[in-house]
């Protein structure tokens, strides 16, 4: 087995993170913006400010790098290519989106429909971001 090329993980992670940031903006502003605002008002909260948004942007880049790292880690077993990137994306989706949003749904924290839309969106968004990041990944 060869070593993971961490420079390419970071490069691919930047691209995957950019895809995630674009997708999250589209989801949370034009698609669900008003629903999020209404849900937050129930708890007396305002829409996220600049510092929260900055945190979400940074986290998308970290998740992007994690997607590409996972792709690189499973690539020797699954082979290079789109299907391995999709597997990487779905693994991260399971632990970061489905697991988290499922718990929020079970607790009734936010409206189920809102969380379901976000979870389904992520089911497609994460593999797409993983494919983009994997496209830039090359072994040393």
User: Residue 140 — pLDDT band, cuts 50, 70, 90?
Assistant: confident
Residues 97 and 31 sit within 8 Å (Cβ to Cβ): no
pLDDT at position 45 is 87
Between CA 38 and CA 44 the distance in angstroms is 10
Examine the pLDDT at 2 and tell me if it is beyond 80: no
Tell me: the pLDDT tens digits for 54-105? 999 999 999 999 999 999 999 999 999 999 999 999 999 999 999 999 999 9
φ, ψ (nearest 5 deg) of residue 5: -85, 95
Q: Per-residue DSSP letters for 74-133?
A: HHHHH-SSHHHHHHHHHHHIIIIIIHHHHHHHHHT-S-HHHHHHHHHHHHHHHHHHHHHH
* Residue 107: alpha-carbon gap to chain centroid: 22
Examine the pLDDT at 114 and tell me if it is beyond 90: yes
The neighbour count for residue 23, using CB atoms within 10 Å, is 18
User: Residue 120 — pLDDT band, cuts 50, 70, 90?
Assistant: very high
Tell me: the pLDDT tens digits for 17-51? 999 999 999 999 999 999 999 988 988 888 888 99
Average pLDDT of the residues in 109-136: 96
pLDDT at position 1 is 63
pLDDT at position 85 is 98
The neighbour count for residue 30, using CB atoms within 10 Å, is 9
At how many degrees (to 10) do helices 50-78 and 112-136 cross?
A: 60
């Amino acid at each position: 087995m060869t070593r993971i090329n961490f420079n390419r993980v970071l490069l691919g992670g930047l691209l995957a993170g950019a895809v995630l940031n674009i997708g999250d903006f589209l989801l949370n502003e034009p698609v669900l913006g008003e629903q999020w605002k209404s849900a937050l008002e129930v708890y007396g909260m305002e829409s996220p400010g600049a510092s929260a948004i900055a945190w979400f942007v940074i986290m998308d880049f970290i998740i992007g790098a994690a997607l590409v790292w996972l792709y690189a880690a499973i690539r020797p077993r699954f082979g290079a290519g789109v299907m391995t990137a999709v597997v990487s994306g779905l693994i991260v989706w399971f632990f970061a989106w489905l697991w988290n949003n499922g718990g929020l749904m079970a607790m009734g924290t936010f409206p189920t429909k809102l969380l379901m839309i976000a979870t389904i969106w992520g089911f497609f968004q994460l593999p797409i971001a993983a494919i983009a990041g994997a496209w830039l990944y090359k072994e040393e």
